[in-house]
Structure 1
Amino acid sequence: MNICIAGAGAIGCTLAARLAKSGQTVNVLARGTTLEAIQKKGIHLTDIDGEHKVTVNASDSAKELGPQDIIFICTKAPALPAMLKLITPMLHEKTIVIPVVNGIPWWYFQGIEGRFSGDSIQAIDPEGSVSKLLPHTHLIGCVVFITAFRNSPGVVTSTNPHLIVLGEINHQMSERLEQVRTVIEDAGIEARATDNIRDQIWTKVAANITSNPLSVVTKGTLEQLYADDRLKPLVRRMLDEVLLIAAAYGARIRFDPHTFMELGAGMGAVKTSMLQDYEAGQPLELDAIGYSVLELANKVDIPMIATQNLLDLTQFIAAQPQTQKQL
């Protein structure tokens, strides 16, 4: 199969390295210094299984890479519309597109029947502008439980086990879903197929919304956010809020709050992706991780006061000039 990793950040490089190591043909769509580094030195991943150095075909031209059978979109949410436009030359009729993106997905109300079926989420898909870029028949939903840190372009460290959960957005099991799951499993990444990907999305959203914004405010690690007695009450309040919204949309999160907090603390001294972005001066995924959830909460008339306040504080901090951030 021809597999493309569109976006060569920490998660993208992790997937590219593991897939290439398993013998798959891996193409990487990248640009700038990251592209140059991968073309010259390949990708270097250090994870719990050891060190993996691989050579991949890398380019900044989707047309040059040609048609792909699977495309993993590994970009931050703010860059998603631009990336969806870029991958167009790589699509054929049966191309499977798997967005590896944090937060509520733009396709959340597509593919299933329900009260809000066909609605767009304005925080991430204003007037359906993102949905128009890709027919939803290409999509397989994905939730990634991988913590990774980019040391330098093409060089990544990941210290926890890898898990990817996959599901058709119409909640049907399918042959292509199992095919993708097997490809990922063969790459040494635990891969699960589910008949309700939205349950898994809410599990990851609960983790993201209770940790990412607060990490920017406090500069704390996952262990600190979920274990420090000064932070735990706020984290627990936000967790209760997001669990209520998830339940309002029929989602089932399998972890009770106490276990959820323990699992978060058990991730160790790891910086969230949002804190890494903040320190690098990159745009934050506040819309996908946070404000989209508030929009869904408003749809069902349930307030999220603690979450709203923290998101607004995080947004204020992120908007300050870089010189002021350093003071």
Structure 2
Amino acid sequence: MKVAIVGAGAVGCLLAARLTRTPAGVTLIARARAAEAISHDGITMVTPLGRVSRVPVRVTDDALSAGTQDAVFLCVKAHALGGALDTLSSLMGPETAVVPMINGIPWWYPLGQPEPLESYRLKAVDPDGTLWRSIPSDRLVGAVTWVSVEADGVGRIRHVDDQRFVFGDPLGRRTAAVESVVELFGLAGFQARGSLDIRADIWTRLWGSLAFNPLSALTGATPGALCVDPGTRAVARTLMAEARAVAERLGITFTADIEARIAAAAGVGDFRTSMLQDMEAGKRLEVEAIVRSVAELGALVGVPTPTVETVAALVDMKARHRGSGTAGMAA
């Protein structure tokens, strides 16, 4: 099995380091500077138990040189997917599976859903429909990532907590592509499973991301601290309640309650969320996929989301005025 991982961020490096130890032929596709550093030094990974390992990986900045792949894992932020399309096209063959490892609501969410979703295109995550037109829907494998990992420089990561991944066909079918990906991740030592309702898994994961990513970016606090403080815990609870109302209107049934989900987030402790990491690094935040997509879906189905919209506006403002107080949002 030939596998390409597009993106050398924290999740991309984690997958490259772990999947390289399987029988699959793994290639990490990275920007030139990162590819050079990783080619020379490999990926340095600190495990949840504190062990440090250095893993040599095959890496290139030339996707064409990697050739046609059996599966491509898109490990870039949702707002960067459009910029990865040329790379993806260089890796695609007639049966290549495409696995977007993104946070939040994916652009393909309306696929095969009843109205009003079926004919709808999510403007928050695919404003001009480029992703919908460019990535064949029959190649998609939906993915939900339950892993806490931090970048510590180019090719250096700290795997903080959890190793769970969920994969599923967007149309709810049992497919060979999903089974192959689940098997591959199992061989890498991850806890991976297939799902016949990947959208329900997306909402369960999004519950925590929606609450704690923007609140951490606004306050600089970790989920552990946000869950302990009565004020921020209450805001998180309200955000999750609004999201639950939207999801339920779309036919999603939650198997856990809000307090249990908050308790799970508290258990992560001092982990810096991806949005907090991006805020501190001056990078663009995933507000559209994680926060604004929920408000957009709420408007579509007639469910008010005032707290979600307020938090999105506050995070946008903070991102625009971070640092010197006048700097714009970084790309």
TM-score by length of 1: 0.96
Equivalence for 1:135: 136
Aligned-residue offset at 1:213: 0.8
Letter in 1 for 2:212: S
**Does the residue aligned with 2:310 lie in a helix, a strand or coil?**
helix
**Does the residue aligned with 1:56 lie in a helix, a strand or coil?**
coil
CA distance in 1 between partners of 2:175 and 2:309 (Å): 38
Equivalence for 2:206: 205
Letter in 1 for 2:214: P
Letter in 1 for 2:91: M
CA distance in 2 between partners of 1:227 and 1:71 (Å): 39
Letter in 2 for 1:94: E
Contact 1:227 1:261 in 2 (8 A): no
CA distance in 2 between partners of 1:146 and 1:300 (Å): 31
CA distance in 1 between partners of 2:121 and 2:226 (Å): 32
Contact 1:3 1:69 in 2 (8 A): yes
Indicate whether 1:19 and 2:19 are aligned: yes
**Does the residue aligned with 2:98 lie in a helix, a strand or coil?**
strand
CA distance in 2 between partners of 1:301 and 1:111 (Å): 21
The correspondence of residues 22-41 of structure 1 with structure 2, limited to 5 A, is 22-41=22-41
CA distance in 2 between partners of 1:113 and 1:63 (Å): 39
Letter in 1 for 2:44: H
CA offset digits 1:225-262 (Å, max 9, x no partner):
12212211111111111111111111122211111111
Moved more, 50-59 or 301-310: 50-59
Equivalence for 1:8: 8
Q: How many residues align?
A: 326
CA distance in 2 between partners of 1:319 and 1:73 (Å): 27
Indicate whether 1:70 and 2:42 are aligned: no
Contact 2:44 2:157 in 1 (8 A): yes
Letter in 2 for 1:34: A
**Does the residue aligned with 1:160 lie in a helix, a strand or coil?**
strand
The alpha-carbon distance between structure 1 residues 219 and 15, as it changes in their structure 2 partners (threshold 3 A), is same
The alpha-carbon distance between structure 1 residues 247 and 317, as it changes in their structure 2 partners (threshold 3 A), is same
Equivalence for 1:103: 104
CA distance in 1 between partners of 2:188 and 2:326 (Å): 41
The correspondence of residues 234-313 of structure 1 with structure 2, limited to 5 A, is 234-313=235-314
Contact 1:21 1:52 in 2 (8 A): no
CA distance in 2 between partners of 1:34 and 1:60 (Å): 8
Aligned-residue offset at 1:167: 0.1
Equivalence for 1:43: 43
TM-score by length of 2: 0.95
CA distance in 2 between partners of 1:139 and 1:288 (Å): 18
Aligned-residue offset at 1:112: 4.1
User: Which ranges of structure 1 fall in alignment gaps of 5 or more residues?
Assistant: none
Contact 1:111 1:136 in 2 (8 A): no
Aligned-residue offset at 1:61: 1.2
Contact 1:213 1:314 in 2 (8 A): yes
Equivalence for 2:216: 215
Moved more, 28-37 or 203-212: 28-37
Contact 1:10 1:156 in 2 (8 A): yes
CA distance in 2 between partners of 1:114 and 1:98 (Å): 25
Aligned-residue offset at 1:62: 1.0
Letter in 2 for 1:24: A
Letter in 2 for 1:82: G
**Does the residue aligned with 1:158 lie in a helix, a strand or coil?**
strand
Moved more, 17-26 or 144-153: 17-26
**Does the residue aligned with 2:324 lie in a helix, a strand or coil?**
helix
User: Which ranges of structure 2 fall in alignment gaps of 5 or more residues?
Assistant: none
The correspondence of residues 33-182 of structure 1 with structure 2, limited to 5 A, is 33-48=33-48, 50-182=51-183
CA distance in 2 between partners of 1:319 and 1:80 (Å): 22
Contact 1:112 1:169 in 2 (8 A): no
Letter in 2 for 1:14: L
**Does the residue aligned with 1:120 lie in a helix, a strand or coil?**
coil
CA offset digits 1:181-219 (Å, max 9, x no partner):
001111000001010000011111111110111111110
CA distance in 2 between partners of 1:45 and 1:325 (Å): 36
- C-alpha RMSD of the superposition: 1.5
Which 4+ runs in 1 deviate beyond 4 A? none
Aligned residues: percent identity?
32
Letter in 1 for 2:289: A
